[in-house]
Amino acid sequence: MARKLWKTIVDIAALLDAEGGDIDWTLFRVGFLGDGPCMKVVEGYVGDGTVRMYVRRADVAKWTLAQAGRDTPGFVRERPGIPSVKA
């Protein structure tokens, strides 16, 4: 199942690369979703040593709202990972 999910992520990224040139998009990656209060989100990329396999749902919501509310868009045409870590 994990292989199929990863392929879906790769296929979506390829589609955005091929046909998403006219829009500002961000494909953010999350690991296993957990419950609980907000911790701290670390922004990184797969393979850079910062992205872990766990993120709390509260952190995803907080990070997503913060990105949507920015005056200057961050991560345009990028694929950051957003794991939760202890503050």
* Structural domain includes residue 7: no
Quick one: pLDDT at residue 21? 84
* Structural domain includes residue 63: yes
Mean per-residue pLDDT pooled into runs of 10, the chain (87 residues): 82 88 86 92 85 91 92 88 87
Quick one: pLDDT at residue 59? 94
Quick one: pLDDT at residue 36? 95
Distance CA 58, CA 60 (A): 5
Domain total of the chain? 1
* Structural domain includes residue 69: yes
Say what the pTM is.
0.79
Quick one: pLDDT at residue 20? 84
Q: Which residues of 22-45 are buried (b: 16+ CB within 10 A; e: fewer)?
A: eeebbbbbbeeeeeeeebebbbbe
* Structural domain includes residue 10: no
Residue 11 CA from chain centroid, whole number: 16
